[in-house]
Structures are given as C-alpha cells and as structure tokens.
Amino acid sequence: METQDQIQLINDTINKAKENLKESSFSFIFWGSLIAILSFFHYSFPEIVQQTYYSSLLYWVLIPVIGMIITVVYNIKKRVKVGYETYAGRTLKIIWGVFNISWILLIFISFEKKINPTESILFLLGVMILITGLLIRFKPFSFGGISVIICSILCGYTPNNSWLLLNSIAAVLGLLLPGIYLYYRK
Amino acid sequence: MFKPLNKILVNPIRLMIVSVLMKVENCDFNFLKQLTQTTQGNLSIQLKKLKECGYISIDKSFEKNYPKTNCKITKAGIKAFNDHFEKLKEYQNLNLKQKS
C-alpha cells in the first residue's frame, strides 16, 4: 500500500466513526418537555401537587426517575445499535450521570432543610448544559446553558411562587429549543 | 535516513481497526466488520494479531445470550499508530519533494 493510500484510509476510517449528535437530541427534547410540563402543571395546580407533605417530593422524584430510566434504556439501545462509543459521548454520559445523582440529592437535602431547590438545581443544570454546548461545539446549547443560569439568578429577585414558571421557561430555553435545533441540524 | 514502516500497521484491515480505535473509546466486533468490509474469520485473525502485539485489548462478554466482543486501543497501540502516522507523513513529504 502506498503512503498516500494509507493516509487516505486513515482519514476515511476516522470520518466514519463520528458522534451522531442528532440521536442525542432525543434526551434533550424529552427532558425539556418533561420539566416544562411538570413545572407548569405544579405552577397551575399547586393544590393537587402539594396535597400532602410528601406528594410534591414524590412528584419531583418519582416522575423524573421514570424519565431517567427511559433515557438510560434509550441511550443503551442507541449504543448497541451504533456499535461504538466516542470519547465525547462517554464524557457527556459521565457528566449527565453525575448531574442526575446530584439533582436527586439536592431535592432530598432541600426537602430536609425545608428550602426550595429550584434555584440550586437550575444553576447546576445551566452549568451542565453550558459544558455540553462547549464540549460538542454547539452554540444553541451554550446559549441555552447561559439562559438557565440567568433564570437561576432571577430566582433570587422574584417571589417564591413564580420560581416554577422560571423553571418551565429555563427548561424550554435550555433543553427543549436547543434539542429541537440539534434534531433539525443538517 | 527513513525508518521502516510498522509492518503490523501496513495491513489495511489492521490499519483501519487501529485508526477507528484512535477515534472512539471502544467499539464492538459487528461495527468493525461493517467498517472493514471483511469476513468474520479474517477480522478475528487481524484482531488476534493486534492483541498479540499489545496494540488493542479485547473484552469478551455475553449480551442477551449472544457473545459480544469489545475492542479498545492500548497505550502501546496509540504510540504505534502515532509513530506510524509520523513516518507516513515523512514519506509523503519526501515523495512530494521528489516530484517537484
């Protein structure tokens, strides 16, 4: 084999194993929609969600845990179908896995301390989205992450009952819209 | 003075396997078979050779009762690929100079 042919073969092979970002958009669209709906429902019908002392905790833990199971199963199936895992894909899997654990821990800590977790969760989510955007070099995620961080800062200047509305807006700006943009990106 | 190319990596199938493993964290046998467009037997032989040289590690497991082979590049494999690529570039530059 000629040297030029070998270099060409290396280039062609490496190009065949690109991270398929379009398929990753499912998780962002799913979580953006889920959080926006949960927040808006809680904001609109607080008497249903906060019926008992533990009902809101269950609402904000049980449904997201089911969501986590759905996305984990989807991502495992995707990995098996594709047949490989890129370094960027593995990094994203780790940082979002750490976020999932931190999110649940923050909810339990806030519940114990009787404080609203929205502000801290939004800040953490914003940082994660920003890291994702910078890592995959996709500006809508970077801007989405900054929007979510701004929403978390705004929580400090708005009454407590409007935090759920901010949470809903942050989910749309930070997850849903960049996810849709990623899906339709060529 | 040009050093000779790595004989193990001159083989196109082995070069493809190592190249793709440089890009990805790990990949399975089926993906490699699809990528290299070779037979199952030939791919197994090339993987075995790369493993014997210490360039890749092979992890065999079972998934839903089916055997699953996962490959990963080792530090020695990364070094061998980088050295090979540098030599290829040197040869390429020499060819270009000779042509001009």
**pLDDT of residue A154 exceeding 90:** yes
| H helix intervals, B1-100 | 7-10, 12-23, 29-36, 40-52, 75-99
**On the CB side of A88, how many CA atoms lie within 13 Å of its CA?**
15
B31 vs A3, A10, A83: nearest CB: A83
pLDDT value of residue B50: 95
Q: Do B22 and A7 touch (CB under 8 A)?
A: no
Confidence of residue A112 (pLDDT cuts 50, 70, 90): confident
For B36, the domain range is 7-99
Residues A137-173 as b or e (16 or more Cβ within 10 Å = b):
ebebbbbbbbbbbebbebbeeeeeeebbbbbbbbbbb
Residue B1 lies in a domain: no
Q: Do A87 and B10 touch (CB under 8 A)?
A: no
Mean pLDDT of A167-179: 95
Number of domains in chain B: 1
pLDDT value of residue B55: 96
Specify the residue for token string 């440089």.
B22
> A35 near A171, Cβ under 8 Å?
yes
Kindly state whether B34 is in contact with chain A, defined as any CB-CB distance less than 8 angstroms.
Answer: yes
A7 vs B10, B16, B88: nearest CB: B88
pLDDT value of residue B2: 64
> B54 near B76, Cβ under 8 Å?
yes
User: In the beta sheet, which residues pair with residue B28?
Assistant: B70
pLDDT value of residue B1: 59
Position A87, amino acid: Y
Nearest to B6 by CA among B82, B80, B56, B77: B80
Q: What is the pLDDT of residues A41-99, one digit of tens each?
A: 999 998 888 888 788 888 888 999 899 999 999 988 888 888 888 888 889 889 999 99
pLDDT: which is higher, A169 or A81: A169
pLDDT > 70 in chain A, percent = 98
CA A125 to chain centre: 7
Domain-by-domain residue ranges, chain A? 21-184
A6 vs B24, B35, B88: nearest CB: B88
* Angle formed by the axes of helices A21-44 and A163-171, nearest 10°: 160
pLDDT value of residue A114: 85
pLDDT value of residue A79: 83
**pLDDT of residue B100 exceeding 70:** no
User: In the beta sheet, which residues pair with residue B68?
Assistant: B61
Mean pLDDT of A133-161: 92
Chain B environment of A80 (Cβ under 8 Å): 63
Chain B environment of A83 (Cβ under 8 Å): 27-28, 30-31, 34
A9 vs B15, B27, B28: nearest CB: B15
Residue B2 lies in a domain: no
Q: What is the pLDDT of residues B42-98, one digit of tens each?
A: 999 999 999 999 999 999 988 777 888 999 999 999 999 999 999 888 887 777 777
Q: Tokens for A45?
A: 């019908």
Residue in chain B closest to A79 (alpha carbons) equals: B27
Q: Quote the CA–CA distance of A125 and B36 in Å, as a whole number.
A: 41
Chain B environment of A87 (Cβ under 8 Å): 24-25
CATH number at residue B47: 1.10.10.10
pTM of the predicted structure, to 2 decimals = 0.80
Q: Do A13 and B27 touch (CB under 8 A)?
A: no
